[in-house]
Each structure stands twice: as structure tokens, then as C-alpha cells.
Amino acid sequence: MATTKSNRLSAVNIILSNIGQAPVTVLDSGNPLVEMAELTLDEITRAVLAEGWEYNTERNYPFTPNTSGFITIPANVLAIDAKPGNGQQTVIRGGRLYDRVSHSYAFSGEQFLDVTWLFEFDDLPEAYKNYITIRAANVFAGRSVGSKEAVQFGQREETVARATMLEYDTQQGNYTIFQDADGGDTYQQRAYRPLGTV
């Protein structure tokens, strides 16, 4: 029985095993297949986290301008969103916050934004790691060997893993049919919804 949490190495070995490859003991071996598996794992991690889940979303996160009024956005920010009604439409351009209404990078005060963060694979909850690993294994099998059978097998597992991740997300969100965790109306803010398709 496994007594340790999954990590990047174990995820890469699952991805490799999906196409019948032997496991590796280290990631920086110079093996091109291992490197391709790692790149696929990173790609799928970004894609899944970009959907915005309870785990990697913070609301009203403060961003403080520097002395020039510019706000540099950290590299691990996947998306930002300003609250409606504040007269601004903020986006990320060139690594900085930009207001599309005033057509300016300069801000006079602290900005409170909803942020979707990118985290390292090893820092994710197990439900996310499991889904990302299975989805990455599925994608990797299709790309590396073009195995229709491996992809079909992975899709069945992927469906179950995504359902588990959705369950984890809804438990973390404390959703009800009337209000979300912040006390807002679900139909106006962030009602539970299956994200994407499996």
C-alpha cells in the first residue's frame, strides 16, 4: 500500500508506463522520452489550473503599484479579473497590469483582483495530481506512439479522476444551491459548474 503522496517523479513514471516504458529513478537523465513526459505534465498542469479552481483562486488579492504607478504581475499568475462596477477593465499586458478603459499601465492605488495561480505539481492536492497525471498520460500516449487503445483506456480513467477532482473542488468551495462560500448568490457569482469537457 502506498504511504507517500504522489510527486513529479511518480507522475512521470505513470505517464511512461502508459506506453509500456520502464520507470526511471531520476528525472534529469537526459532521456528524451522522459523530458517529453515532463513537458507534457507541465503543459497539462497549466491547462487544468488555468480553469480556475477553489484551490488556486484567490478573491480580492491586493496588488500594489510601484513608485511609477506600475503593477508587475508575478509569473505564476494565470489569470486576473477585476470586480465589475469599479470602472476598470484590467488585463495583463507585457507582464504588467493594464487598464483598457483609461488605456494606461499606471494605477494610483492598490488594486484588488481575483487571481488564478499556477502552482508546482508537487504542491497540488492529491485529487488534482491524479487527474493531471492521468490526463497527461492520455495526451502523451496519443502523441508519442499514436496508440488508440492506450488513449481510450486513459479516457475511462480520466473521467473518474475528473469527477473526483470536481468533488474535491465543490467540498472546498462549500457551495449550496442558494449561496457560495462568500455569501454571494450562486447564480450571480460562481455557481458550481463542471468545467470543460472530459
Task: Give the pLDDT of residue 144.
Answer: 84
The answer to whether 51 and 195 have CB atoms below 8 angstroms apart is yes
Q: pLDDT per residue over 88-124, tens digit each?
A: 789 999 999 999 989 999 998 899 999 999 999 999 9
In this structure, are strands 96-99 and 90-93 parallel, antiparallel, or unpaired?
antiparallel
Write out pLDDT tens, residues 26-54.
Answer: 998 788 999 999 999 999 999 999 999 99
Phi, psi torsion values for 153, nearest 5 degrees:
-65, -45
Residue 177 CB contacts under 8 Å (≥ 6 apart), including other chains: 186
Q: How big, in percent rounded to 5, are the helix, strand and coil portions of the chain?
A: 40, 15, 45
pTM beyond cutoff 0.85: no
Q: Is the pLDDT of residue 3 over 70?
A: no
Question: Taking a C-beta distance cutoff of 8 angstroms, is the pair 21, 33 a contact?
Answer: yes
What's the one-letter identity of residue 62? P
How many angstroms separate the CA atoms of 15 and 166, rounded? Answer: 22
The three grid cell numbers given for residue 36, joined into one nine-digit string: 517529453
**DSSP β-bridge partners for residue 24:** none
